[in-house]
């Protein structure tokens, strides 16, 4: 009986430190080798640069579209833009213009 109680007391006293070591090893592994860990830093940095370049491209495109929308304001539309859009939609050309077909 005393042998069983010594084994159970050893397991009880070693249980909490074992759980703590296992959890520290688990979180340490993911801190170093996980998808957002220290070893993944160059890849994350490269993805960030790619996303920033895409954001700048989309921001420029948004600014261009906003400018076109502002030029088409019903209160004071830009006559050149209105003419360009109408001619493009109606497929109309002036007599003095040369049309170059693109393949």
Cα separation of the two ends of the chain = 94
* pLDDT for position 2: 61
The residue behind tokens 């296992």 is 22
Average pLDDT across the chain, whole number:
85
String of DSSP letters for 50-82? HHHHHHHHHHHHHHHHHHHHHHT-TTS--HHHH
Question: What is the model's pTM?
Answer: 0.52
Q: Tokens at residue 34, please?
A: 């996980």
- 1 pLDDT exceeds 60? no
Report domain extents, the chain. 1-33, 41-94
């Amino acid at each position: 009986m005393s042998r069983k109680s010594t084994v159970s007391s050893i397991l009880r006293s070693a249980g909490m430190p074992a759980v703590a070591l296992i959890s520290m090893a688990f979180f340490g592994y993911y801190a170093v080798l996980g998808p957002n860990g220290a070893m993944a830093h160059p890849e994350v940095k490269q993805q960030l640069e790619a996303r920033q370049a895409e954001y700048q491209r989309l921001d420029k495109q948004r600014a261009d579209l906003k400018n076109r929308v502002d030029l088409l304001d019903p209160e004071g539309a830009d006559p050149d833009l209105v003419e360009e859009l109408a001619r493009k939609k109606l497929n109309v050309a002036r007599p003095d213009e040369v049309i170059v077909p693109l393949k």
